[in-house]
């Protein structure tokens, strides 16, 4: 069975410093171990981007795949935070605001993420105790 059928999968840019911080946040707050993580530079992460209509060569968003449905931009952020529960659940209210108002700032940051936050020379590697959360 594919990982995205068993668990929601977050596809992220493994060389982006901001994206790595997002992964650290998920690992710190996803106490139930609900999410799996796939770098877009890996075979499965790349394949998920393509299947859901995002370019793996020029990604402008990370991708959340939950029960076969792909979400990107602020839809993905709100859904991830909402599933973390606790105080993060309030982020689900973000979905009530139209995407035309939510997504432009997100996309601007995504397009300039390397310049604003930096880029690693190689893909982020998980700590051994967290490797089970990563695909590829």
From residue 13, how far is each of 1, 51, 107, 118 by CA, in Å?
Answer: 24, 17, 14, 12
Residue 135 placed within a domain: no
For residue 113, pLDDT beyond 90: no
The two three-digit tokens of residue 113, written as one number:
């993420």
For residue 124, pLDDT beyond 80: no
Share of the chain above pLDDT 70, in %: 96
pLDDT of residue 5: 65
For 45-87, what is each residue's pLDDT tens digit? Answer: 999 999 999 888 877 778 999 999 999 888 898 899 988 888 8
For 79-104, what is each residue's pLDDT tens digit? Answer: 999 888 888 888 777 777 777 878 88
Say if residues 42 and 50 touch (Cβ distance below 8 Å): no
pTM listed for this prediction: 0.85
Please, how many CA atoms are within 13 Å of residue 131, restricted to the half-sphere of its CB? 5
Residue 49 placed within a domain: yes
List Cβ neighbours of 75 (8 Å cut-off, separation of 6 or more). Answer: 64, 95, 99
Beta strand extents in 4-136 (DSSP E only): 9-12, 36-39, 63-66, 69-72, 134-135
Band (pLDDT 50/70/90 cuts) for residue 44 is very high
Residue 33 placed within a domain: yes
For residue 7, pLDDT beyond 90: yes
Least confident of 10-14, 16-20, 46-50, 99-103: 99-103
- The domain in which residue 49 lies consists of 3-119
Beta strand extents in 18-136 (DSSP E only): 36-39, 63-66, 69-72, 134-135
Residue 129 placed within a domain: no
Q: Assign residue 110 the CATH number of its domain.
A: 3.40.30
The two three-digit tokens of residue 62, written as one number:
């990370």
- Structural domains of the chain, count: 1
Residue 16 placed within a domain: yes
In this structure, what DSSP letter does residue 94 have? G
Residue 108 placed within a domain: yes
């Amino acid at each position: 069975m594919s990982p995205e059928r068993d668990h929601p999968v977050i596809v992220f840019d493994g060389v982006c410093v901001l994206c790595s911080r997002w992964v650290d946040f998920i690992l710190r707050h996803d106490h139930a171990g609900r999410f799996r993580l796939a770098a877009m530079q890996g075979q499965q992460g790349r394949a998920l981007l393509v299947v859901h209509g995002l370019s793996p060569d020029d990604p402008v968003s990370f991708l959340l795949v939950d029960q076969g449905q792909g979400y990107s931009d602020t839809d993905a952020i709100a859904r991830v935070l909402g599933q973390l529960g606790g105080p993060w659940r309030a982020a689900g209210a973000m979905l009530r605001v139209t995407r035309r108002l939510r997504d432009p700032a997100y996309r601007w940051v995504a397009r300039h993420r390397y310049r604003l936050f930096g880029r690693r020379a190689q893909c982020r590697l998980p700590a051994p105790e967290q490797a089970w959360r990563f695909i590829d």
